Each structure stands twice: as C-alpha cells, then as structure tokens.
Amino acid sequence: MSRFIWLCLLVIGLIAVSGHGAVQAQTAGFGALARIEGGAKLHDQARGVTLEMGLSQGVPWRLFTLDAPRRLVVDFREVDFAGLPLDFDRSEHAISVRTGTFRPGWSRMVVELAAPMAVAEAGLRVSPETGRAALRLQLVPTDAESFAKAAGAPRDPRWDLPAPAVIAGVKKPKGPLTVVIDPGHGGIDPGAERDGVNEKTLMLTLAKELTEELRRAGMDVVLTRTDDRFVSLEGRVAIAHEVRGDLFLSLHADALSEGQATGTAMHLLSRSASDEATALLAERHDRDELLSGVDLTGQDDVVASVLMDLARIETEPRAEALARGLLAAMTAENLALNRKPLRRGAFSVLKAADIPSVLIEVGFMSSPRDLANLRDAAWRARFVTAMREGILDWAQSDAARAPLVRQ
C-alpha cells in the first residue's frame, strides 16, 4: 500500500476507490469559494465512519491520513465551512473536527480519529445540470500497523507551500506586497471591441477577480480604476507611485486587424520595440492618451532622465523576472501562450522607473478562442490562479536576490 492516499479533481469530476471513472462537465462561475449546500454530516455507519457533505460547486480536493495522533485530512480549493451544521459531528469514532484555511486559497478539514481507520470509498459527484457537488468518504477499521504504514502527508507543489529556506542576509518585507492592477482603457476609451463587448469592460471584470484572489492571498491591491472612467497613462503611473506599489500590472486584450495572434503575452518597457507588432501595439495604447489632451512626449529633462535610467538598472531585471515567473505559472496551469510570449516595447504606462512593471496582453479579442476565454468565468479563474502563483513565487525570489542588488 502506498505511503499516502490523495485525490485531486480538476474543476469537477469523480474519483472513487470503488472503481468509478471520472466524469467531466461544465460549471458556470467556477473559481469562487464553494459553500456548504445540501447538508453535511459525519456519522458512524456499521463499524466505520462516513463523511457526507454537499457543496455549491465542484472543487479540486485531496485526502490523506496522519499518525500520532491519528487524523484524516481533507483539503479543498476552496470551501467556506461557515455553513457546517452545529450537529455535523455525530460520530463516536471522531475525537474532534477542525476546519479552516491552511494557506491562501486552500481550505482544510482535519478529523482526529479515536481508532485506526482506512479509506474504503472516496468520491465527489458533480451534477452536470446544477454544478452542485456531493462528497462522500467512508472509513473502515484497520490495524495500527497498516494505518501507520499508509499515513503521511503528500508533497505536491500544486497544493503545498515550498519548504522553508534560510537565506543569509534576506530581510522579511515590512508589510504585505502592494500590487497595483491597471485595467486597460476606460471611460471615453473603450479599447478593442468585438461581438458586442469591449476591452475596457472585460479587463475591469478580470481586474476585480484578480484583486479578490490576491487579497485572499494576503496582498494589498490597488486598482487604477474601479469603474468605467478614463484615467490618463500618466495618472495610472502616478497612482502606483502614490501607494508605493511593489509591482504594476497593466491588463489588456487587443484586437488585430491582420494576422492570427492568440494567447497571453507579457510586454516589458524598452526604448524601442522588439518587433513590429509590439511597436504598433504600443503606438495604439499611447495614442489613446491624446483623448484626454495629454502628451507625455518630452516630459523628462536631462537630469530626470539620467536618474530614471539609473533606477531602471535595478528595476528592469526585476520586471523581467516577474514576467518570466508569470509565464511559468501560466504554463503550469496549461494556459495558452502567444508564440512569442515575452516582448518589449515603448509603453508609457510602464515608465515607473522604480516599480517593476509588466503590460499583460491577456488574449486577443480578434481571436475567437481568446475572446471566448475572456468571457468565460472558469477560464478567468484559472488565469487569476496562475497570476497569484506567479506573483508569490516572484516575491520570494525577489527577496532572495535583494542583498545582491548593486553589488
């Protein structure tokens, strides 16, 4: 028998020890917290213990056992346990039940067992009509030796935080990471438009969903706009400086009149564009600034320009590391990337010299597939998950590199 038992469902489905196969269906709005719906109980059945719990939607999950003391651990991504009934625990085989968050975005239930138990059945059924899910676990008595042999926490980077590392000279940040999210366009500037939707609306929706995800992960998040209003490029950068942002992410979804561009791409600041497509994109984004009567050209005098160039010596490698980290997280989440996912261009919105800044072309509205993804809540949930993981990984690496800067 393996050292641990674990189950993980992607979005929805069924995995059961009794031999059922996986069944997939679509769940609208996947990505928010699942709620307890349809009742929940932990009760004795025959000589064993049965856990039954109704959820508002299917979520990825796993289970394993731990010894000394004997425990059953069930992890979810993620569940609001506030709806558990007061009489949830009706089992004499359960000493105690604890629930809560064990890391941002992940929930855990721990059942301390009075005697060694083995998992005989474990499954999560999801209704294809309603998207609601029903979890059922059944434990049966086993001997202490078998329980101890099977017990142990799995190690899976998709679920667990990285192992603690002691790095000499690295100081802990004084407070939570401050992320500035910039939903592209707004107000009189709708951005790209296709099939009755526009870029400014899609990016504001995505920005709010990303804000919720990052705040749940313990970050401070500031939006450059929270509704349909025009904010100048200069004003967006000024907001990032005013709140002392640790990083700046500008969200866009362009539409091209020629070519078949698809997938997510990251753009970094450069005095010149890395290719013609990026140059045209930067030109389109910056031309929108003229709608408010502001022209950023020639605003820097010689001294200021030199000082900003010095600041960018430190900032640009950090911004590139951020972009590469985000792309790696999206690859891990199986999100489609552009054929050239890392590009450089003269984007005015990225000109905060002291703040790592990335312009993210989430997708292209001129691509039917990308447009469908942008309008799909389940796809956006996967995207914001990848963004969160990429930012967390970058923050850890950035802190480790900090003592080496300018040495």
> Domain with 202 in it: what CATH number?
3.40.630.40
Identify whether residues 306 and 369 lie together within a single domain.
yes
Q: How confident is the model at residue 14 (pLDDT cuts 50, 70, 90)?
A: very low
The 8-class DSSP code of residue 322 comes to H
Q: Where are the beta strands (DSSP E) in 153-308?
A: 178-183, 193-194, 197-198, 220-223, 247-252, 264-269
Q: Rounded mean pLDDT of 99-127?
A: 88
CA 191 to chain centre: 25
> Do 65 and 187 fall into the same domain?
no
Q: What type of residue is 33?
A: L
- DSSP for 341-376, please give it: EEEEE--GGG--TTS-EEEEE---TTSHHHHHHHT-
Same-domain check for residues 122 and 190: no
Same structural domain, 300 and 207 = yes
134, 150, 166 — which closes off a domain? Answer: 150
Band of pLDDT at residue 271, cut at 50, 70 and 90:
low
Least confident of 57-71, 157-171, 348-362: 157-171
Residue 380 inside a domain? The answer is yes
Amino acid 374: pLDDT:
96
pLDDT digits (tens, 9 = 90+) for 20-39: 322 222 233 334 589 999 89
Q: Provide the whole-model pTM.
A: 0.54
pLDDT surpasses 60 at 314: yes
pLDDT at 11: 33
Residue 252: band (very low, low, confident or very high) from pLDDT cuts 50, 70, 90: very high
- For residues 58 and 106, membership in a common domain is answered with yes
Mean pLDDT throughout 54-81? 91
Are both 325 and 369 inside the same structural domain? yes
Q: Which pLDDT does position 37 carry in this prediction?
A: 92
Same domain, 300 and 384: yes
pLDDT digits (tens, 9 = 90+) for 360-387: 999 999 999 999 999 999 999 999 999 9
Q: Given this model, what pLDDT does residue 46 score?
A: 81
Q: Domain end: 95, 130, 150, which one?
A: 150
Q: 158 pLDDT band (50/70/90 cuts)?
A: low
**Residue 123 shares a structural domain with residue 264:** no
Confidence of residue 209 (pLDDT cuts 50, 70, 90): very high
**DSSP letter assigned to residue 161:** P
| Same domain flag for 248 and 344 | yes
Whether residue 9 is contained in a domain is answered as no
Is the domain of 195 the same as that of 270? yes
What CATH number does residue 45 fall under?
A: 2.60.40.3500
DSSP string covering 6-24, please?
Answer: ----SSS----TT-PPP--
Count: domains in the chain? 2
Structural domain boundaries enclosing 278: 178-404
Q: Give the E-state strand segments of 209-292 in sequence order.
A: 220-223, 247-252, 264-269
Longest Cα–Cα distance in the chain: 82
Q: pLDDT at residue 164 above 60?
A: no
Q: Is 54 helix (H, G, I), strand (E, B) or coil?
A: strand
Q: Indicate whether 249 belongs to any domain.
A: yes
Tell me the pLDDT band of 162, cut-offs 50, 70 and 90.
low
Pairing of strands 193-194, 197-198: antiparallel
Give the pLDDT confidence of 289-303 residue by residue, as tens digits: 333 333 334 444 433
Report the pLDDT value the prediction gives residue 258, as an integer from 0 to 100. 64
Q: What is the pLDDT of residue 378?
A: 93
Question: Can you tell me the distance from the alpha carbon of 266 to that of 251, in angstroms, rounded to the nearest whole number?
Answer: 10
**10 in a structural domain:** no
Report the C-alpha gap between 351 and 354 in whole angstroms. 9
Q: Are residues 138 and 220 in the same domain?
A: no
- For residue 140, the model assigns a pLDDT of 95
- Give yes or no for a contact between 34 and 136, defined as CB atoms under 8 angstroms apart: no
Q: What is the mean pLDDT of the segment spanning 226-252?
A: 88
CA distance 306 to 273: 21
- What's the pLDDT at 107? 87
Domain termination site, one of 150, 166, 190? 150
CB-based contacts of 263, cutoff 8 Å, min separation 6: 336, 337, 338, 339, 341, 363, 364, 370
Specify if 22 maps to a domain: no
Whether residue 298 lies inside any domain: the answer is yes
Any idea which of 11-20, 43-52, 392-401 has the lowest mean pLDDT?
11-20
Contact 252, 362 (CB under 8 A): yes
- Tell whether 276 is covered by a domain: yes
User: Does residue 216 share a domain with residue 98?
Assistant: no
Residue 68's nearest CA partner among 9, 148, 187 is: 148
Is residue 204 in some structural domain? yes
Directed axis angle between helix 377-401 and helix 302-332, to 10°? 120
